[in-house]
Structure 1
Amino acid sequence: MARKRKSKVSPGGIALWVALILLALAGMWAWQHRARVPAAVATIARELPAPAPSAGPPPSGADAAVAAKVGGKLVVRRPPRDARIGVSADAAVLLRVVEMYQWHERCELDGGACSYEKSWSPGRVDSGRFRAPAGHENPPAPFADARFVAGEIRLGDLVVDPKLLDAQAAKDYPVKESALPPNLAATFSVVDGVLYAGGDAAHPQIGTVRVRYRIVPAGEVELAGVKRGNKLEAK
């Protein structure tokens, strides 16, 4: 009687079957958890820190700011002008300085007696705060200090920021009566280049105003600032 021959499975065949079984199990797991994968990805994305916004490339060309010190002569295209009084000057900056003749109160300490005297003073002294305001009233000043700058100030090829001229020395600018418009020449008297309204220099009254001018000349300067394109600006 013939014996049945036993079939043998090679090791390579066993490995193939194991690989197929594992692949099938992996496919089943992926199918069962298909809804959880996007949720897990979204959770991870929420937990990660947001990327920092990009600062962009550093400025270059016309936008670049470079510290600079430039010397030379200022050139003014449109001189400054005090339109209210009609005074202009061939300068970089025109300053109006106003004082008014008014009452001042001087009181002794610890509620002692007060005395009242008249003198020139910048700004208005509030006579309403006096211990005895009656008969010592100071009127409001018709003008205040003001600063006027030229329409365009250049230093070589650079347009200069007027703020850079704040540290430059100013000098007195006497005004000539002939330089005033006719209507204001009737309002102001001019003594030694200073304008007076509401009284004269020799006999001022309470409320008399005197106006003098100072200028920052358009001369040789050395300015330190920030160069941005064709402009020299304050730091």
Structure 2
Amino acid sequence: MGKDTFSITTEKSWFSRIGNAFKGILAGILMVLLSLGLLFWNEGRAVERYKTLVEGGGKVLSIDRDHVSPENDGKLVHISGKPETEEVLTDPDFGVSASAIKLIRHVEMYQWQESRRTKKKKKLGGGEETVTTYSYSQEWSGRLIDSRGFQQQNGHENPETMVYRPKTVMASHVRLGAFTLPQSLLTRLGNKVPFTVPADAEPKGTAAGSIRQGNGFYLGGDPSHPEIGDMRISFSVVLPTEISIVARQTGSTFKPYHTVAGGNIELLETGIHTADSMFSKARQSNTILTWMLRFAGFFLMTVGLSMILSPLVVLADVVPMIGSIIGAGTTVIAALFSAVLSCVTIGIAWLFYRPMLGFTVLGAAFLIGVLLFRRIRGSEPVMPPPVPPEEPPPVP
């Protein structure tokens, strides 16, 4: 595996940096607005999903997979069992066939990969020196890496195309008892396992002359000494296994169930699970996603506010030590104000969806704001009271 490295050093003047900082204010404002929209939308999404799952949990019916009951048509149903198919899936490019729900072709190509590492150093007077180190290594990758965007293209050229791409062949007719599974559910089936290519399988077309390696094929010269453009092909399958589904019964198949709350329900889990446990897990997933998006909105807002305050840092960078202190202070201020604005945004959103919680969140934001204001006031120097002028001694 080859690897080489080189560095490029660039410098920016103080005037160039201050100009870029002021230009970044607009980008910072846009990031703050985007974070506000994300936070507000996320609360609405979370409430809708919560109400959807609560509504679905109160309506779901567990049904017999071996009998299609017309009276359940259009209702939210729960069903468990092992799906079955009689189809034999084939990858014609490599002559590989398997009796499975999915046949997946995995493709890797040996290519150049560029990575970069940047180190910045502030200089007296406000300038900045940036050293960017580019490293090139030869690695196996499942995607085509475009070397035309490399900083140093000469000697690091990758093929412009991949002769073979990853591919998934899926059964078109899969039964679960008396029901047929739709493609929307089949695509979500996982638990893939490695598939051993039969001994009589032979590559087709340009793959002729390839080498059998492990459970697949090696397209190239010597597998122990790969060269740029060599490819590794392997396969995996998704076999029938026990699953549980919650969805709307439509004839002898299933579709997403649309709730009065406005959301859709189409749940699938590997293994035998009760409807209650599936809804419980779905609510947990909704909570996790909600907090992830909250932190994402908070982080985005912090970055945006830091960009708005960045001209102060650059102005102070005339003396690098002072600039570093100011930079740390602006980051803390940006994070504190982001916490306040995030709580306010979430509280306002909850006022639309759950007023009681909305007032609670707004109260927490108000408390944080008061503490922040007191801390800022406490950091101001206290001026001593004025000393009254001395009165002249009485004239005897």
Q: TM-score, normalised by structure 2?
A: 0.40
Q: Distance in 2 between matches of 1:190 and 1:119?
A: 20
Q: Which residue number corresponds to residue 147 of structure 2? A: 127
Amino acid across the alignment from 2:253: K
Match among 212, 221, 235 for residue 213 of structure 1: 235
Q: Which residue number corresponds to residue 232 of structure 1? A: 254
1:208 is displaced (CA, Å) by: 0.8
Q: Distance in 1 between matches of 2:104 and 2:255?
A: 21
Q: Distance in 1 between matches of 2:207 and 2:149?
A: 35
Aligned length: 176
Q: Which residue number corresponds to residue 118 of structure 1? A: 138
Worse-superposed segment, 94-103 or 186-195: 186-195
Q: Distance in 1 between matches of 2:90 and 2:171?
A: 8
Structure with greater strand percent: 1
When the two chains are superposed, the root-mean-square deviation of aligned CA atoms in Å is 2.6
Q: Which residue number corresponds to residue 97 of structure 2? A: 88
Q: Secondary structure at the match of 1:100?
A: strand
Worse-superposed segment, 80-89 or 131-140: 80-89
1:62 is displaced (CA, Å) by: 9.3
Q: Which runs of 5+ in 1 are unaligned?
A: 1-60
1:198 is displaced (CA, Å) by: 2.4
1:63 is displaced (CA, Å) by: 10
Do residues 202 (structure 1) and 224 (structure 2) align?
yes
Structure with greater helix percent: 2
Percent identical: 30
1:20-63 deviations in whole A, cap 9, x for unaligned? xxxxxxxxxxxxxxxxxxxxxxxxxxxxxxxxxxxxxxxxx599
1:85–1:184 contact (8 Å) kept in structure 2: no
1:167 is displaced (CA, Å) by: 4.2
Call closer, same or farther: CA 1:228–1:62 in 2, change over 3 Å: farther
Amino acid across the alignment from 1:122: G
1:98 is displaced (CA, Å) by: 1.4
1:155-214 deviations in whole A, cap 9, x for unaligned? 111111133231432111122342235767734322110221123432211011112212
Q: Secondary structure at the match of 1:76?
A: coil
1:72 is displaced (CA, Å) by: 2.0
Call closer, same or farther: CA 1:88–1:223 in 2, change over 3 Å: farther
Q: Distance in 1 between matches of 2:243 and 2:185?
A: 11
1:116 is displaced (CA, Å) by: 1.5
Amino acid across the alignment from 2:230: T
Structure 1 segment 64-213 matched on structure 2, within 5 A: 64-109=73-118, 110-139=130-159, 140-165=161-186, 166-180=188-202, 186-213=208-235
Q: Distance in 1 between matches of 2:241 and 2:206?
A: 30
Q: Distance in 2 between matches of 1:104 and 1:69?
A: 47
Q: Secondary structure at the match of 1:112?
A: strand
Q: Distance in 2 between matches of 1:205 and 1:137?
A: 12
Q: Distance in 1 between matches of 2:163 and 2:207?
A: 16
Q: Distance in 2 between matches of 1:62 and 1:150?
A: 29
Call closer, same or farther: CA 1:188–1:224 in 2, change over 3 Å: farther
Call closer, same or farther: CA 1:143–1:111 in 2, change over 3 Å: farther
Q: TM-score, normalised by structure 1?
A: 0.65
1:111 is displaced (CA, Å) by: 4.5
Amino acid across the alignment from 2:139: S
Amino acid across the alignment from 1:228: T
